Amino acid sequence: MNVQREPLTAWRAEFWAPVASFRDPLFPGLSHGLPLPPPSTVRGLLAAATGAPVESLALGMAAWSEGGGVDAETYHPISADGSNPAVSGRVRAVKGGMTIRDRPFLADVRLTVWLPGGDGDRIAQALRRPVWPLCLGRSQDVVHPLGLRRTALHPTDEAIVDHALAPVGGHGVPAATVHRMAASVSLDRLRTSWADYLWCDTATGPYPVRDAYQDDEGQAVWLLTP
183 backbone φψ class: left, alpha, beta (φ>0; ψ -120 to 50): alpha
Q: Which CATH architecture does the domain made up of 8-221 adopt?
A: 2-Layer Sandwich (3.30)
Single-letter amino acid code for the residue at 85: P
Cα distance between residue 181 and residue 195, in whole Å = 6
Half-sphere exposure of 9 (CA within 13 A, CB side): 7
Per-residue pLDDT of the chain (226 residues; tens, 9 = 90+): 444 678 999 999 999 999 999 987 766 655 678 999 999 999 999 999 999 999 999 999 999 999 988 877 776 666 555 555 544 444 455 555 667 777 788 999 999 999 999 999 999 999 999 999 999 888 888 999 999 999 999 999 999 999 999 999 999 999 999 999 999 988 887 888 999 999 999 999 899 999 999 999 999 999 999 8
With beta carbons less than 8 A apart as the criterion, state whether 1 and 145 touch: no
Where do the structural domains in the chain lie, given as residue ranges?
8-221
Question: Side-chain half-sphere of 152: how many Cα atoms within 13 Å?
Answer: 6
Please report the pLDDT score of residue 188 as a whole number.
84
Check residue 47 and give its pLDDT: 96
Distance CA 209, CA 1 (A): 9
List the strands of the sheet with 192-199, edge to edge: 166-167, 192-199, 177-185
Q: What is residue 82's predicted lDDT score, i.e. its pLDDT?
A: 53
Beta bridge partners of 151: 10
Give CA–CA dist 127/2, Å, rounded: 32
Angle of the 39-50 helix axis to the 117-128 helix axis, nearest 10: 60
Task: Phi first, then psi: give them for residue 63, nearest 5 degrees.
Answer: -150, 150
Predicted TM-score of the model (pTM): 0.86
